[in-house]
Amino acid sequence: MEFSPATVAFAFGLTLFAGLATGVGGLYSVLKKNPTDRFLAGSLGFSAGVMLYVSMVELLPEGVSSLAEEMSEKGANWLAVAAFFAGIAIIAVIDRLVPENINPHEPDMTSEKEKKLRRQALMKTGMMTSVAIAIHNFPEGFATFVSGLGDATIAIPVAVAIAIHNIPEGIAIAVPIREATGDRKKAFTWAMLSGLAEPAGALVGFLLFMPLLGPMTLGVIFAAVAGIMVFISLDELLPAAIATGRHHSAIYGLVAGMAVMAVSLLLFL
């Protein structure tokens, strides 16, 4: 199928806009002076809520829907569930392979050592979240790009909705890295690089994979990414939030994140 340069530029611009919203979340996090434990717990909980809600309400059903275009509804559901847990298994293996000789919950540690181990755990959380979100953003960027090649009245709300999703994702990346390193520039850079996976996905998809990517491939990818994001939320974001000592702030943040995502999805139905 042939597309005019203007159409391609419009579609890529929408994808770039959505991806840069991750940097907006990162920028907000690094500009906020001396974040309190309550802010840290609330932000990490909020991001966990975003990722959990998007994974279970949007990505996994989208995976089932894509697979159902090529196979029976029952088969699509089984394959989507298999891909979902495969995604969890993949990120769990990666998590186990990351060298870690620390235990943040060891009771007999000195105060300074506890602080050091907490920084190490937060850095790992931020980096793993960045990788997971980048993996999620890659096919998401291609999906946004494809919608931009079609009807603009559909593509623009899709891009705005994804941008809304990406702002708290930037917070999820930047907050723990800033707390771990004290380096605002590094925290913002990681958030921005994760967001740029979205236009990268659009570019690579358009140049190489568009003839190869069908409903089956996209369905498996969406379901697997949902599993990855659920694991990151439950294994990294929520424990890091609760470790601040602000348990209620973490849970309130989680509920708020789910509510924001629910409203953003309803606005663009």
Instruction: Detail the residues annotated as belonging to a binding site for Fe(2+).
Output: 137, 140, 166, 169, 198
Rounded CA-CA distance 231/236 in Å is 8
Of 176, 244, 233, 191, whose CA–CA distance to 46 is shortest? 233
Q: Which residues does the annotation place in the binding site?
A: 137, 140, 165-166, 169, 198
Whole-Å CA distances, 120 to 103, 104, 181, 224, 230: 10, 9, 9, 27, 22
Q: How would you label 215-254 residue by residue, b for 16+ Cβ within 10 Å and e otherwise?
A: beebbbbbbbbbbbbbbbbebbbbbbbbbbebeebbbbbb
Contact assessment for residue 124 and residue 131, using Cβ atoms and an 8 Å cutoff: no
Over 208-235, what HEC string results? HHCCCCCHHHHHHHHHHHHHHHHHHHHH
Tokens read off for 82: 């298999």
Q: Which residues does the annotation place in the binding site for Zn(2+)?
A: 140, 165, 169
Query: Residue 234: what residue type?
Result: L
Over 16-49, what HEC string results? HHHHHHHHHHHHHHHHCCCCCHHHHHHHHHHHHH
| Block residue for tokens 């931009």 | 148
